[in-house]
Structure 1
Amino acid sequence: MQTANGEHAASGAPIGNDVTADIAIRQAINLAVDRDTLVEVALQGYGRPAFGPADGLPWSSSDEHLAAPDLAQAEAILDAAGWRLGDDGLRYKEGLPARFRLTYPSNDTTRQLLAEVSAHMVRPLGIEMQPTGRHWDEIQREALHQDAIMFGFGSHSPQEIYYLFHSQHAGNGFYNSGFYANPQVDAHLDNAQAAASIEQANREWQAAQWDGTTGYGVRGDSSWAWLVNLEHIYFADTCLDVGELGVAPHGHGWPVTANLLEWRWTCD
């Protein structure tokens, strides 16, 4: 959530969070989270660290990553931004505690574990993320534009980048639920949409992530804290040849059966 508290969406849902609206909080969280450990603990090794919504795809920058977690740098960022440690171990800025809900769908044990482990990782900074399980109906009604949400995204199309980060799509369902807005990012996204070639478009998609000055990614606004990319696991009969599988996007975006016509039974 990058918008301050105090407004409401057309649906009536509250908008804004004064804690996560501070870029220092978002940068510190991104620096503190140990993504390799999240993969091992929450995914049992079946995945890899994530730093953006399209890691490894042509419309994502190959330079978009963070090195090992750096708590010292995260603490320095918080100190410089005026977030001071209180006697209770929590940081405060002008009386505001660095505390907010990290909401996940209550029927998703993987997201629950990711929420709990990542909350444990940032607590030494003096930031209290409160893992909170809710039904999607309740999330949409009360938390979608106010809490930090444990989302899952991933697509074979760069159009998802446009929906996630263009200010035009602020509050558009699950897309840009944090009401993120950056005019330079909007310009790059619009240029990508209007590009005359795929190569030119990809340069603009990547520039929206970071153009050397600003961007939605970890080197810019740190608009999200991307955590992990799941490695989808399937059980299959040893006699079934499923052919060459492509990059697996988010679960409801492209099923394992997408290349069903290539499947072959290899046993007599």
Structure 2
Amino acid sequence: MTARTARGAAAATLAAALITGVAACSNPAGGASGGASGADSAVVGIATEPESLSPLLGYGKDGNSKIFDGLLTHDADMKLKPALAESLPQVSADGLTYTFKLRPGVKFSDGVPFSAQDVVFTYRTILDARTNNASKSELDAVAGVEALGEDGVVFTLKYPYAPFAERTVLPIAPEHIAGRQDVNSGDFTTRPVGTGPYLLTGWSKGEKLSFKANPGYWGGEPAVKKFTMAVVKDDDVRATRLRSGELDAAVLPPNLARGFAKDATRRTYAAKTFDYRNVTLPTAHPVTGDVAVRQALDIAVDRGAMVDKLLEGAGKPAFGPVPTGSPWFTAGTERTFDPARAAQILDAAGWKTGGDGVRAKDGVRATFPLWYTSGDKIRQDHALAFASDAKKVGIEVRTEAGTWEVIEPRMKTDAVLAGGGSPADPDFDQYQLLTSSLGGDGFNNMARYANPTVDAALLDGRRSGDPAARRAAYDTVQRELVKNPGYVFLTHIDHLYVVNDTWDGPATQVEPHDHGLGTGPWWNIETWKPKQK
């Protein structure tokens, strides 16, 4: 789904794996080396797993879920194309209604026919206040959804939400199963039934998810009959298991991917992404809540060095959620590395350097913790580099590692080495990241950033159908982040994947931050064919 750029051909080759943890458990598919379980099977690794496999709770909302389909999907160039709909929607002149004609003959994997009522059920359930879907605000524009017989659906919007069609890649759930149980805790959350190319055959939490080809898939039964996603967080372990033959594919950081560069039996794929790494600056903390500290940190970090040394060129400096190569990027919002100017800002704001080199103001020392997730070397390296740069201007950053279970309760006051990014539309990432209405709502707006000008611009960008007005709105957001950063954006990261060269078909798309289950060279695994020897 989203992607980054690399510096030069070598960087592009190494540019795809920094976050999507790809690893396996000790023989996840029970197979041997060279194609973990045979010519018609594939084993890949992921760093994390979802809490639920229910699209009603947010699973697969960006598409490529493999178990489910949306009304639309993306092709290799990230252009929308029909899936459960037989064509792209008809849109009214005022942009307030989207009408879909559904593909005939589609069945869920249990044999029950798919119908318009399943679409209505899915969207209405997600929008229900009782449904625990953290991405509910993404459908804020929807005023209603109605079935037009068995094979048609019409959405009515509150305002002309320009990227609405992109939202309809959201997977459709079967009402006859999911509608008969508790949406938040029923069996469907771990035993899903969909219309997609694969069926879930097993899920060992923390170890692996196993799938088999859906023989009744409307697009034709996949040639890859068994598909396993193994859950391994550690980058080094992932590389070791790929080399030993336990994995057919893995996402790896550049330094580990380089070790496979001369391996004639494997290929390296580089994916462009919108995936960024940033540091949250919680407003509730007496240090990170000070605008002067935010401004100073924003220009005290050497983003170029992070790209060159931590990513080995597989990425680019980040100055906000929008990559510099995107048509939505606002020129002039790049931040120049300037530690001398950062020191001047802190001096002027009353943060004076103490005998130990750490600044203080009104009895408050300029120190705060920065958490990163255990086992994620890319986040660890970014956290340490950020702390080193901050120290040079008199701010003490104490790096800490932990699981998300440890980190999440601390996010109100403690900084986090976080990430995000979505290529489909600026609204998809920026609204949840920056609107004050979602401050403290789980992983939405983790810094609890509150800026009335940004709030207004985000609404303008979301609710306008005029491309020029939307452009102006997102320009405003990016300029405001220069004046008052709620986050220090560090790098946009390219993703690197190393894959056994035994299939025809693997390819990459532009990728978002979220990856693993739905992205990587296996985004189109249902179309892969074994190479002819």
TM-score, normalised by the number of residues in structure 2 = 0.44
Q: Give the counterpart of 1:148 among 415, 418, 426.
A: 415
Contact 2:436 2:451 in 1 (8 A): yes
In 1, the alpha carbon distance for the partners of 2:472 and 2:503 equals 40
Partner-residue secondary structure (3-state), 1:160:
helix
2:433 maps to which residue? 164
2:387 maps to which residue? 119
- CA offset digits 1:64-87 (Å, max 9, x no partner): 2123x2111011100000000111
Question: Structure 1 residues 58 and 105 mapped into 2: Cα distance closer, same or farther (>3 Å)?
Answer: same
Q: Give the counterpart of 1:130 among 398, 404, 419.
A: 398
Contact 2:282 2:446 in 1 (8 A): no
Which structure is richer in relative contact order (CA contacts within 8 A, separation 6 or more)? Answer: 2
Deviation, 1:57, is 2.8
1:184 maps to which residue? 453
Letter in 2 for 1:43: L
Contact 1:59 1:203 in 2 (8 A): no
**Structure 1: gaps (5+ residues):** 5-15
Deviation, 1:60, is 3.2
Q: Give the counterpart of 1:255 among 519, 522, 526.
A: 519
Contact 2:300 2:389 in 1 (8 A): yes
Contact 1:107 1:135 in 2 (8 A): no
Contact 1:58 1:202 in 2 (8 A): no
- CA offset digits 1:149-186 (Å, max 9, x no partner): 00011112322100111111111111111111111111
Is 1:22 the counterpart of 2:22? The answer is no
In 1, the alpha carbon distance for the partners of 2:289 and 2:353 equals 19
Q: Give the counterpart of 1:39 among 299, 304, 307.
A: 307
1:8 maps to which residue? none
Partner-residue secondary structure (3-state), 1:246:
coil
In 2, the alpha carbon distance for the partners of 1:164 and 1:188 equals 13
Letter in 1 for 2:415: A
Letter in 2 for 1:61: T
In 1, the alpha carbon distance for the partners of 2:383 and 2:366 equals 17
Q: Give the counterpart of 1:228 among 491, 512, 515.
A: 491
- The structure that is strand-richer by fraction is 2
Q: Give the counterpart of 1:90 among 358, 362, 365.
A: 358
Partner-residue secondary structure (3-state), 2:498:
coil
Partner-residue secondary structure (3-state), 2:296:
helix
Partner-residue secondary structure (3-state), 1:206:
helix
Partner-residue secondary structure (3-state), 2:401:
strand
**Structure 2: gaps (5+ residues):** 1-279
Larger Rg: 2
Equivalenced residues, count: 249
Deviation, 1:109, is 1.7
Question: Structure 1 residues 43 and 3 mapped into 2: Cα distance closer, same or farther (>3 Å)?
Answer: closer
Letter in 2 for 1:28: A
Aligned-residue identity in percent: 35
Partner-residue secondary structure (3-state), 1:173:
coil
Q: Which moved more, 1:38-47 or 1:130-139?
A: 38-47
Deviation, 1:199, is 4.3
Partner-residue secondary structure (3-state), 2:492:
strand
- The structure that is helix-richer by fraction is 1
2:317 maps to which residue? 49
In 1, the alpha carbon distance for the partners of 2:333 and 2:509 equals 22
In 2, the alpha carbon distance for the partners of 1:202 and 1:232 equals 28
